[in-house]
Amino acid sequence: MDSFAILPQQLVFGIALGTVYSLIALGYTLVYGILFMINFAHGEVFMIGAYLGWGLLTWLLSAQLSSLHPLWVLPLLLLQGMIGAGLVGLSLEFFAYRPLYKRGATRLGPLISAVGASIFLQNLVMLTQGARMKVYMTSLLFPPSWRLQVAGVNISALLIVITLTSTLLMFGLHYLVQHTTLGRAMRAVAEDREMAEIVGVKVWRVIAATFFLGSSLGGAAGVLVGLYYTQIDFFMGYSAGLKAFTAAVLGGIGNIRGAMLGGLVLGIAESLAVTFMNPAYRDVITFAILILTLIFRPTGLLGERLSEWEKL
Amino acid sequence: MWTRWWRVALTSLLMLVMLTLGGGGALAQGTPLKLAVGAPLTGPLAKQGQEVANAVKLAAEEWSKRGGILGRRIEVLEADDQGNPQVGVSAAEKIVADPSVMGVVYGITSVTCIPASDIFERANLVMISPGCTNPKVTDRGLKVVNRVCARDDAQGPAAAIFAVNELRARKIAIFDDGTTGPRGAADEFEKQARKLGATTLRYVIRAGEKDLRAVLGTIPKDVQVIYASLWAPEAALMAKQLPDVGLKARMIGPDGQFEPVDYIQASGGAAEGNYVTFLAPDMRELPAAQAFVKAFEAEYGPLSSYGPLAYEAANIILEAVKRVGKPDRAAISRAVRATNNYRGVLGVPITFDRKGDVAGGVIFVYQVKGGAFQQVKTIVVK
């Protein structure tokens, strides 16, 4: 079959996948922008968000409520996933990173601590929830018959919801960082931590808030991925985290707009790669893009720092 | 300073104790004999793996209740291979290291069966697999390896015969996950389907991949049947995501999808009407199996996949231990291979051939109907 005929459909899938990558990538980028540290446990925060959403959805379904309308169920799932994941992010910062920074650790210490926290969270979920995959009964919330046919392109209601929700959340973050007091404090800390402290910014409170924000976006992505892929397991954070990290680096780590762009580019690139090449090469494409970026544009598509964002 | 010396002394003492325990050659009388079981007890295939372990435990309990063998109780040593070759090798090492183990019921994934069997061969420890279907498992001519399931060169072709002759498919998309077992079945399917005149297209998706939409989107819309040589979780995803790309094709899958929870339920109804080939007939229809089904379900809940095959394998090994009459691994291995016309719960008499395969290849085709597997066809592959 002609590969070009299915191109629009593949683009739609790529955009949906891309917005989810972007949402996770923002968590990496926010933390990096402020602490210059890769929070490798972020994938696990995302995974916990997915489990929280699953728990609530399963409970709602078993409660036999007369009608489960996505209009109120979806915000509820997202809210719970975001707050839960945000709290996990907060405790990560408090227990795994802050003590190290307070004792004057270099960049390597917190990085190792992050890897440790990641393994800890993975195993915690495996031991408490079991190693078997969990299934989001999405079809009861979004019947498969809810779909659009536009010029031969098949778009399910769920796909629209996911793309819209991710985009909304990203615009929300954009507004928060750019137009609020907290956002200004965040940018100040990213620019120069000592100077910010001197002018009265409560640096550790800002760092904690950043962790909460990034993690809650990760949690929201977890819920959305759960709804979209319908199967979650304790290991899902690993590959998703790796892809999102690639997206963040691609866009320019530390740069919020870069993370959004990077995720989108990566999602579309993967979908197109599958269209024109053997699908087994999907990850080869992803990581080839990462390597090429690092060689030819080490600071990413849009450059690195969070603070520089305003100047762009 | 002193604490350090204590630590050194303690460690050496511990090591000494462990060495004497591990090196103890002859078995003391009255200690139990062990039957080992290796399967994925955790991970995505845990459901099927747990059923294998439970069926072996049931067989061991029944033998113990009847007075055991040589006056000794039968205990089960469980080893988790996670469906992963590296983990499988260490599981096998753990099994052969225990001198009271007399045989192993091992593996539902060919990718672990093959490396693990090399370790059993070196230890002269007999193995029967309930679900490793790749030809290479027995084709390497190992003395200790046997299986009670049919091979992929029976299962793949049976599915192809069904797809072309029964479903009248002219154009078939074939998927596998790139690992030994599923790929082998897909290869055999492709060969037979082509022989019968169908056009085939090959695709690969990695095990654990969650978003199949982009790959499914590249399938031509006139494909009528998809042979999905995948495990239950991926097959459920595929069934669920097919409508997203506007494809109305029936799926056929191998034994790994014969799992009501991880396939039918996980698909949320999307698997309805699809077909799965399996290595055992519907146990509820077999008079010889009723006692087993009842005992199993009373203790472990609904029987759904490899349980009957594992139970059969365990009994064949224990029967051989009894015939040999002494805990001699090599002799037991020879006795298992000599199994002739064993009539157990599977409804077909079991005789192992020169390579350790069951003579003849009978494959059972099931369809997902009303959320359960219904046997619809029996296919004999010559």
pLDDT for position A311 = 43
DSSP class of B354: T
Residue B11 confidence (pLDDT) above 70: no
User: Does the distance separating the beta carbons of A236 and B217 come in below 8 Å?
Assistant: no
- In chain B the domains, ranked by start, together with CATH numbers, are 33-150+284-351 (3.40.50.2300), 153-278+364-381 (3.40.50.2300)
Cα–Cα dist B37/B55, whole Å: 10
Task: Look at chain B and count its residues.
Answer: 382
Residue B2 confidence (pLDDT) above 60: no
- For the purposes of burial, counting CB atoms within 10 Å of the CB of B6, is it exposed (0-12), middle (13-18) or buried (19 or more)? exposed
pLDDT for position B22 = 44
> Between A133, A156, A274, which is nearest B233 by CB?
A133
- For the purposes of burial, counting CB atoms within 10 Å of the CB of B150, is it exposed (0-12), middle (13-18) or buried (19 or more)? buried
pLDDT more than 70, % of chain A: 95
Are B74 and B34 contacting, i.e. CB atoms less than 8 angstroms apart? yes
A&B contacts, CB < 8 Å: 95
Mean pLDDT for the stretch of residues A88-112: 88
Are B78 and B35 contacting, i.e. CB atoms less than 8 angstroms apart? no
The residue whose two tokens read 């591990």 is B22
User: Does the distance separating the beta carbons of B44 and A233 come in below 8 Å?
Assistant: yes
pLDDT for position A304 = 67
**Is residue A6 within 8 angstroms of chain B, CB to CB?**
yes
User: Does the distance separating the beta carbons of A231 and B233 come in below 8 Å?
Assistant: yes
Residue B91 confidence (pLDDT) above 60: yes
Interior CA angle at B122 toward B116 and B125, to 5°?
75
pLDDT band per the 50, 70, 90 thresholds, residue A154:
confident
Dump pLDDT digits (tens) for B193-232: 999 999 999 998 887 778 888 889 889 989 999 999 999 9
- DSSP assignment of B105-147 equals EE-S-HHHHHHHHHHHHHTT-EEEESS---THHHHT--SSEEE
pLDDT for position A66 = 64
User: Does the distance separating the beta carbons of A1 and B214 come in below 8 Å?
Assistant: no
Q: Among the ranges A268-272, B72-76, B265-269, which has the highest mean pLDDT value? A: B72-76
Dump pLDDT digits (tens) for A11-38: 888 998 899 899 999 999 998 888 888 8
**Is residue A5 within 8 angstroms of chain B, CB to CB?**
no
Cα–Cα dist B165/B41, whole Å: 38
DSSP class of A309: G
Q: Provide the 10 A C-beta neighbour count for residue A226.
A: 27
Are A214 and A43 contacting, i.e. CB atoms less than 8 angstroms apart? no
Which residues of chain B approach chain A closer than 8 Å at the C-beta? 42-44, 46-47, 178, 203-206, 208-211, 213-215, 217-218, 220-221, 233, 236-237, 240, 243-246, 262, 265-266, 268-270
pLDDT for position B26 = 41
Dump pLDDT digits (tens) for A193-231: 888 999 988 999 999 999 999 999 999 999 999 998 888
pLDDT for position B28 = 43
User: Does the distance separating the beta carbons of A144 and B211 come in below 8 Å?
Assistant: no
Contacts of A2 in chain B (CB under 8 A): none
Find which of B81, B203, B210, B241 to mutate to test the A interface (most A CBs within 10 Å of its CB): B210
Dump pLDDT digits (tens) for A224-237: 999 988 889 888 99
* ipTM > 0.90 (yes/no): no
pLDDT band per the 50, 70, 90 thresholds, residue A110:
confident
User: Does the distance separating the beta carbons of A270 and B214 come in below 8 Å?
Assistant: yes
Residue B23 confidence (pLDDT) above 50: no
SS3 B351: coil
Measured over the CA atoms of residue B37, residue B38, residue B42 and residue B47, the dihedral's sign is negative
Are A132 and B47 contacting, i.e. CB atoms less than 8 angstroms apart? yes
User: Does the distance separating the beta carbons of B211 and A229 come in below 8 Å?
Assistant: yes
Cα–Cα dist A232/A44, whole Å: 12
| CA-to-CA dists, residue B215 to A271, A275, B334, angstroms | 8, 7, 48
Measured over the CA atoms of residue B263, residue B175, residue B218 and residue A13, the dihedral's sign is positive
Write out residues 231-260 of A within 8 Å (CB-CB) of B.
Answer: 231, 233, 235-236, 239
More confident residue, A142 or A232: A232
> Between B203, B233, B240, which is nearest A279 by CB?
B203
User: Does the distance separating the beta carbons of A139 and B262 come in below 8 Å?
Assistant: no
DSSP class of A97: I
Contacts of B46 in chain A (CB under 8 A): 130-132
Residue A7 confidence (pLDDT) above 50: yes
pLDDT band per the 50, 70, 90 thresholds, residue B124:
very high
Contacts of B208 in chain A (CB under 8 A): 235, 239
Question: What is the distance in angstroms between the Cα of B241 and the nearest Cα belonging to chain A?
Answer: 9
Dump pLDDT digits (tens) for B343-360: 889 888 889 999 999 876
pLDDT band per the 50, 70, 90 thresholds, residue A6:
confident
SS3 readout for B224-251: CEEEEECCHHHHHHHHHHHHHHCCCCEE
Contacts of B266 in chain A (CB under 8 A): 133, 135, 230-231
Cα–Cα dist B351/B353, whole Å: 6
**Is residue A14 within 8 angstroms of chain B, CB to CB?**
yes
> Angle formed by the axes of helices A42-62 and A7-35, to 10°?
120
pLDDT band per the 50, 70, 90 thresholds, residue B13:
low
Chain B residue closest in CA terms to A271: B214
The two structure tokens encoding residue B64 = 């113990």
The two structure tokens encoding residue B245 = 């790309």
pLDDT band per the 50, 70, 90 thresholds, residue B60:
very high
DSSP class of A135: E
pLDDT for position A23 = 92
The two structure tokens encoding residue A160 = 């629209």
User: Does the distance separating the beta carbons of B243 and A230 come in below 8 Å?
Assistant: no
> Between B46, B245, B266, which is nearest A231 by CB?
B266
pLDDT more than 90, % of chain B: 59
B379, amino acid identity: I
B219, amino acid identity: I
φ/ψ (deg, to 5) at A165 = -60, -45
Chain A residue closest in CA terms to B247: A154
SS3 B167: coil
Mean pLDDT for the stretch of residues A147-171: 85
Give the total number of structural domains in chain A: 1
**Is residue A123 within 8 angstroms of chain B, CB to CB?**
no
Q: Provide the 10 A C-beta neighbour count for residue B225.
A: 26
**Is residue A227 within 8 angstroms of chain B, CB to CB?**
no
The two structure tokens encoding residue A230 = 């319908």
Q: Nearest Cα to B186, choosing from B226, B215, B213?
A: B226
> Between A17, A228, A279, which is nearest B215 by CB?
A279
Interior CA angle at B296 toward B294 and B302, to 5°?
90
Ordered strands of the B145-147 beta sheet: B74-80, B33-39, B101-106, B126-129, B145-147
Are B311 and B55 contacting, i.e. CB atoms less than 8 angstroms apart? yes
Dump pLDDT digits (tens) for B275-293: 999 988 888 888 889 999 9
Domain that holds residue A290: 3-311
SS3 A307: helix
Cα–Cα dist A110/A92, whole Å: 11
Q: Nearest Cα to B373, choosing from B265, B295, B294, B296?
A: B265
Are B234 and B175 contacting, i.e. CB atoms less than 8 angstroms apart? no
Cα–Cα dist A210/A31, whole Å: 7
Cα–Cα dist B208/A229, whole Å: 11
User: Does the distance separating the beta carbons of A154 and B244 come in below 8 Å?
Assistant: yes
pLDDT band per the 50, 70, 90 thresholds, residue A312:
very low
**Is residue A275 within 8 angstroms of chain B, CB to CB?**
yes
Cα–Cα dist B215/B217, whole Å: 5
Average pLDDT score over chain A: 87
List the CATH number of the domain containing A299.
1.10.3470
pLDDT for position B238 = 94
Measured over the CA atoms of residue B81, residue B83, residue B87 and residue B89, the dihedral's sign is positive
pLDDT for position B8 = 64
pLDDT for position B6 = 63
Are A279 and B204 contacting, i.e. CB atoms less than 8 angstroms apart? yes
The two structure tokens encoding residue B333 = 């291995």
pLDDT for position B7 = 65
Find which of A11, A126, A132 to mutate to test the B interface (most B CBs within 10 Å of its CB): A132
pLDDT band per the 50, 70, 90 thresholds, residue B245:
confident
Global pTM value: 0.77
Cα–Cα dist B118/A143, whole Å: 49
| CA-to-CA dists, residue B6 to B13, B18, B19, B76, B246, angstroms | 10, 18, 20, 37, 71
Residue B112 confidence (pLDDT) above 80: yes
Chain B residue closest in CA terms to A134: B266
| CA-to-CA dists, residue B334 to B131, B282, B353, angstroms | 21, 31, 12
Residue A109 confidence (pLDDT) above 80: yes
Mean pLDDT for the stretch of residues A233-243: 89
Cα–Cα dist B332/B314, whole Å: 13
B151, amino acid identity: R
Dihedral angle of Cα B167, B168, B171, B174, to the nearest 10 degrees = 30
Write out residues 144-203 of A within 8 Å (CB-CB) of B.
Answer: 144, 147, 149, 154, 156, 159
pLDDT for position B12 = 62
More confident residue, B269 or B227: B227
Q: Provide the 10 A C-beta neighbour count for residue A60.
A: 17
Dump pLDDT digits (tens) for B137-190: 999 999 999 999 988 888 999 999 999 999 999 999 999 988 888 898 999 999
